[in-house]
Amino acid sequence: MGEERFYRYAIYFTPEERTPLYEMGSRWLGRDAVSGLAVAPGLPNGIGLHEWREATASPRRYGFHATLKPPFSLAADRDVEQLRVSLRTFAAGHKAYFLPRLMVAALGRFLALIPSEPYPDLCQLAADCVWDFEDFRAPASAKDLSRRRHPNMSERELEHLARWGYPYVLDTWKFHMTLTGSIEQELRHNLHQYLRQLFATQCETPLPVTSICLFAEREPNSDFFLIERAALG
C-alpha cells in the first residue's frame, strides 16, 4: 500500500529543530510543527492569553516557517513518494548559505520576521521551488482562487494567481516568517515592541539556510506539519 495522500502540501523553510530560533518561533506560535505538540508561550504582563490566541491563530496552523512554494493539492498522476524524492534531489542541487540577520517588522496588518538586507540567493531558491515543483501541483479550484483574490491586488499578482494559484510568488514573493495574523493597530504596536525584545538574541547573527522542508495538511483547515526535511547541497 502506498503512503497516505494528504489534502495539501507546501514547501517551506523552517530552522533546524532544537535551534534557538526554531524553539522561540514555535513557543511564540504555541505549536511545534515537527512534534505536533502545543508549546506554552510564556506571555508577559500586559498581553492576555485571549489576545495572544487570536493574534496567532492563523500562523499557528501553518507552523513557524517561510513559504517557498505555497500550499497545493497533489496532481492526480503524482504520489507522495515521488514528491519526497524530488524534494531531496532538488535540495541536493542547491547550496546552503546564510540569510542576512532577521528583524521583526510590520507587513500591512500583521507582524513577521524579515531579512534586514537584500537576499538574492533565497529569492532564487524560492523561484526555483515554484517552477520545479509545478508538475506536482493540481490546478487550483475556483473556490481557492476566489478566496485568495482581494480588491487591492496588483495586475502582476492577479497574473500569478491565475498562473500559479497564488499571487505572491516569483517577483512578488518576499521572505517572511509570520508571527501574527491581521491585528488592530494598537495591539500590533504593543506586540511589535514585545517581539523585537523576544527575538533580539536570535536576530543578532545571520540565519543559516541548510535545508528545505515538505509540510502537509491532513484535511481542510487542519494543522500543517513537517513530513520531510532535505539538506541543501
Could you report the per-residue pLDDT of 108-153, keeping only the tens digit for each?
999 999 999 999 999 999 999 999 999 999 999 998 899 999 888 9
Could you report the per-residue pLDDT of 177-227, keeping only the tens digit for each?
999 999 999 999 999 999 999 999 999 999 999 999 999 999 999 999 999
Which one is the CATH code of 8-231: 3.30.460.10, 3.60.20.10, 3.90.1140.10, 3.40.640.10? 3.90.1140.10
Distance CA 131, CA 127 (A): 6
Least confident of 42-56, 63-77, 124-138, 146-160: 42-56
The whole-number average pLDDT for the span 10-34 is 96
Distance CA 64, CA 35 (A): 12
Q: With 60 as the cut, is the pLDDT of residue 1 above it?
A: no
Element (H, E) at 213: strand 211-217
Q: Measured between alpha carbons, how far is residue 175 from residues 6, 50, 69, 136 in Å?
A: 26, 28, 11, 22
Contacts of 147 (CB under 8 A, 6+ apart): none
- Adjacent-strand bridge partners of 11: 69, 214
Position 103, amino acid: M
- Round the average pLDDT of the chain to a whole number and report it: 94
Quick one: what percent of the chain has pLDDT higher than 90? 88
**pTM for this one?**
0.94
Q: Which three cell numbers stand for residue 3?
A: 503512503
Q: How far is CA 170 from the centre of its chain?
A: 15
Q: How far is CA 38 from the centre of its chain?
A: 18
Q: Write down the pLDDT at residue 47.
A: 83
The whole-number average pLDDT for the span 96-101 is 94
Q: Which three cell numbers stand for residue 139?
A: 490546478
Q: With 90 as the cut, is the pLDDT of residue 41 above it?
A: no
The whole-number average pLDDT for the span 5-24 is 96
Least confident of 40-49, 54-63, 82-91: 40-49
